[in-house]
Amino acid sequence: MSSTAPAVSTGITGATTSTRVVSIDILRGITMAVMIFVNDLDSVHGLSKWTYHMPARVDAMTYVDMVFPAFLFIVGMSLPIAVRSRLRRNPSQGRLWLHIVLRSLALLVLGLILANADRGDPARMHFSPDLWALIGLTGGILLWNVYTGLSRKWVLGLRLTGAALIVFDFAIYRRATHGGEAWIRFSYPEILGLIGITYFAVCLLYIPTRRWRFAPLAWLILLVAYNAACCARWIPMGKWSLYAWPFGNGAMPSLVMAGIVTSQIFVEGGEAVRPARRMLLGMLFAIVSFAAGWFLRPFGISKIRATPTWALWSVAATCALFTLLYWLCDVKKQTRWAWLVRPAGSNTLLTYLIPDLYYFLVALTGTAWVLGHWDSGWPGIVRAVGFTIGMLLVAHAATRARLRMQL
pLDDT digits (tens, 9 = 90+) for 114-136: 999 999 999 999 889 999 999 99
- Integer Cα distance of 194 and 190 in angstroms: 6
**Domain residue limits at 282:** 57-333
Q: Which of these ranges, 223-232, 249-258, 335-344, 375-384, has the smallest mean pLDDT?
A: 375-384
At residue 369 the predicted structure's pLDDT band, cuts being 50, 70 and 90, is low
Of 110 and 366, the structure prediction assigns the larger pLDDT to 110
* DSSP tag of 4: -
Query: Residue 181: inside a domain, yes or no?
Result: yes
Q: Which of these ranges, 20-24, 124-128, 193-197, 199-203, has the smallest mean pLDDT?
A: 20-24
What pLDDT is stored for residue 180 in this prediction? Answer: 80
Query: Residue 294: inside a domain, yes or no?
Result: yes
Query: Residue 359: inside a domain, yes or no?
Result: no
Rounded mean pLDDT of 285-296? 98
Please, what's the largest Cα pairwise distance for the chain? 65
Rounded mean pLDDT of 51-68? 94
Torsions phi, psi for 298 (to 5 deg): -55, -20
**Number of compact structural domains in the chain:** 1
Torsion of CA 104, 109, 113, 114, to 10 degrees: -10
Q: Which residues of 93-129 are buried (b: 16+ CB within 10 A; e: fewer)?
A: eeebeebbeebbebbbbbbbbbbbbeebbeeebebeb
Query: Residue 23: inside a domain, yes or no?
Result: no
CB-side neighbour CA atoms (13 Å) of 141? 19
Query: Residue 379: inside a domain, yes or no?
Result: no
**Which parts of 256-352 are beta strand (E)?**
none
6 has pLDDT over 50 = no
At residue 20 the predicted structure's pLDDT band, cuts being 50, 70 and 90, is low
**Which parts of 167-213 are beta strand (E)?**
175-177, 180-182
- pLDDT tens digits for range 299-332: 999 999 999 999 999 999 999 999 999 999 999 9
The answer to whether the beta carbons of residues 68 and 303 sit under 8 Å apart is: yes
Rounded mean pLDDT of 75-87? 94
Torsion of CA 3, 8, 10, 15, to 10 degrees: 130
Query: Residue 383: inside a domain, yes or no?
Result: no
Mean pLDDT rounded to a whole number for the chain: 91
- Integer Cα distance of 191 and 289 in angstroms: 24
Angle at 30 between CA 221 and CA 59, to 5 degrees: 50
What pLDDT is stored for residue 2 in this prediction? Answer: 32
- Integer Cα distance of 110 and 133 in angstroms: 10
- pLDDT tens digits for range 151-179: 999 999 999 999 999 999 999 999 988 87
Query: Residue 210: inside a domain, yes or no?
Result: yes
The answer to whether the beta carbons of residues 322 and 282 sit under 8 Å apart is: yes
Query: Residue 42: inside a domain, yes or no?
Result: no
| CB within 8 Å of 72: residues ≥ 6 apart | 195, 198, 252, 255, 256, 259
- Integer Cα distance of 279 and 302 in angstroms: 29
12 has pLDDT over 80 = no
Q: Which of these ranges, 43-47, 237-241, 285-289, has the smallest mean pLDDT?
A: 237-241
